[in-house]
Amino acid sequence: MKKIFIIDDDYEIKYLFLKAFEGFAEPEFAGTLREAEEKLKNKKFDLIFLDVKLPDGDGIKLLEKIAGRDKTPVCVITGYGTTELIVRAMKTGACDFLEKPLNKEKIRIVAESILNRVEKEEIIERLASEIRREIPFIGKSGIYKEILRKIEIFSKSASPVLITGETGVGKDVVARLLHYTGNRRNFPFQHVNCASIPGELLESELFGFRKGAFTGAYRDKKGKFELADKGSLFLNEICDMPEGLQAKILDVIENKEIFPLGSEKGVKVDVRIISATNKDIEKKVKKGNFRKDLYYRLNVLRLHIPPLRERREDIEPIATYYLRKFCEENNKPYYEFSKSALEFLLNYDFPGNIRELKNIIEKLVAIKQQGRIITGEELKMVIEGQDTAEKDAEIKPLKEAIKDFRRNYILDVLKKSGGNITLTAKKLGIHRVHLQRLLREINFEKDKK
């Protein structure tokens, strides 16, 4: 039961508080500043109600001491409800105010509102602490806190979640947080990037296959759905999934059953689907490039992550986190950002979002040789060097360029053929077996990279 401290010398007020908190909280009282200070030395309370006019002094002075000592919420009581007095109390640290005359309903409503608000803030802070220890999703902005609040709420649900946002904002990190802070955290988390696997191969990756299902299927293999049973499956870049496969995903959501390739027997699965995209999925749906029915099933809970340029308050804590991290990994002394460095970071737009910021800090730590202070000029040089390196990287040896073209061309034709191997081979003018060998080589090369 919550412990609430009422500092007021009016006996009628004390009686109202006693009636208001029956069966809800344990009220304790003090009638003077001196008595209140003595009790506060030895006891902790969940909430304090403080009259601003007491027999031995101004209640605002006690409010200053409480605000400077701990985070106990204080609601001021005043019978002299001038705007100036209320503003002064709120600026000093009060979280709310009650104007006389009081009644027990008003007291109870305000107390419950304050305690609920405090509890939510504590949950967010606790979640933030867990995040910092295990998964690097960092910030301090209002947007960041709102994302954490949604993660805390959504993690308790079994409904699908659709995460949207630009490349590099941390969609994969948020997906992991939804899983690892939720009810399914003790079961598997599986991740599939729909943009990196051709359609037919993506189907076997998701649903698995049985021995003999196709050439090269020498044994049974479980797919991601089966591996994620009772846990979560993260479908990243969901907009790049072929339409034929979209229908099968919809069937799994509706029936909670998969059919591995080469099997007529279904396998029951209990999987929470978390999907993400950096594209405008609503636009894709309107153009007919993404199934409307699947969109509705995936978009039960929505979590949008704004780009870093729209939450600049988060740049400094993120940059500081990665600065410490890379100093430790490179066995270097802890560096610090100068004022000019922080100004540079706050004014840079980060088109690559958090991923770009992380890359910049990692490069900076790797090349820095002298001093422990990072300047704005050093950051500028790293970013300009990054741009130059990217331009130089565009020029490849002819052999490598031809290999890249072949890979991209094959994957493009495969995608346009809806992931159908036979149709793709026909369009390319090669045998199906030859195409399957080329696809295996492509995947092998990608894994090596």
Does 388 share its domain with 413?
no
3 state DSSP class of 38: helix
- In a domain, residue 128? The reply is no
Q: Could you say which of 271, 306, 341 is where a domain stops?
A: 306
Total domains in the chain come to: 4
Q: Which residues contact residue 11 at a Cβ distance below 8 angstroms, ignoring those fewer than 6 apart?
A: none
- In a domain, residue 125? The reply is no
Count other Cβ atoms within 10 Å, centred on residue 354.
Answer: 24
Average pLDDT over residues 74-100: 83
Q: Could you say which of 68, 87, 118 is where a domain stops?
A: 118
- In a domain, residue 266? The reply is yes
Say what the pLDDT of residue 395 is.
54
> What is the per-residue pLDDT across 131-165, written as a single tens digit (0 to 9) for each?
656 678 899 999 999 999 999 999 999 999 999 99
Cβ-count burial 9-42 (b if 16+ within 10 Å, e if not): beeebeebbeebbeeebebebbbebeebeeebee
Range of the domain at 328: 309-393
Does 179 share its domain with 207?
yes
Count other Cβ atoms within 10 Å, centred on residue 162.
Answer: 21
Share of the chain above pLDDT 70, in %: 92
- In a domain, residue 123? The reply is no
The domain that holds 68 is classified in CATH as 3.40.50.2300
Does 153 share its domain with 301?
yes
User: pLDDT band at residue 444, thresholds of 50, 70 and 90?
Assistant: very low
Does 145 share its domain with 165?
yes
The β-bridge relationship of strands 301-304 and 257-258 is unpaired
The domain that holds 437 is classified in CATH as 1.10.10
- In a domain, residue 126? The reply is no
Does 218 share its domain with 275?
yes
Residue 191 has pLDDT above 70, yes or no: yes
Does 325 share its domain with 242?
no
Does 332 share its domain with 435?
no
CA distances to 49, 107, 330 from 96, rounded to whole Å, are: 9, 12, 49
The domain that holds 362 is classified in CATH as 1.10.8.60
Q: Give all strands (DSSP E) within 182-309, no chain letters.
A: 189-193, 208-209, 221-222, 232-236, 257-258, 267-268, 272-277, 301-304
Say what the pLDDT of residue 390 is.
46
Lowest-pLDDT range, 61-65, 290-294, 433-437? 433-437
User: pLDDT band at residue 398, thresholds of 50, 70 and 90?
Assistant: low
The β-bridge relationship of strands 208-209 and 161-164 is unpaired
Residue 188 has pLDDT above 60, yes or no: yes
- In a domain, residue 133? The reply is no
Say what the pLDDT of residue 344 is.
93
Does 215 share its domain with 336?
no
Q: Could you say which of 256, 289, 306 is where a domain stops?
A: 306
User: pLDDT band at residue 432, thresholds of 50, 70 and 90?
Assistant: confident
**Average pLDDT in the chain:** 87
Residue 434 has pLDDT above 60, yes or no: yes
Does 53 share its domain with 107?
yes
Residue 57 has pLDDT above 70, yes or no: yes
User: pLDDT band at residue 448, thresholds of 50, 70 and 90?
Assistant: very low
Helix (H) or strand (E) holding 385: helix 376-393
Peptide bond into 101 cis (omega under 30): yes
- In a domain, residue 131? The reply is no
- In a domain, residue 75? The reply is yes
The domain that holds 285 is classified in CATH as 3.40.50.300
Spatial distance between the Cα atoms of 161 and 240, rounded to a whole number of angstroms: 17
Does 439 share its domain with 412?
yes
Does 263 share its domain with 146?
yes
Looking at per-residue pLDDT, the higher value among 56 and 235 belongs to: 235
40 phi and psi angles, rounded to 5 deg: -70, -20
Average pLDDT over residues 200-228: 87
In the chain, the amino acid numbered 431 is H
Share of the chain above pLDDT 90, in %: 53
User: pLDDT band at residue 186, thresholds of 50, 70 and 90?
Assistant: confident
Does 38 share its domain with 143?
no
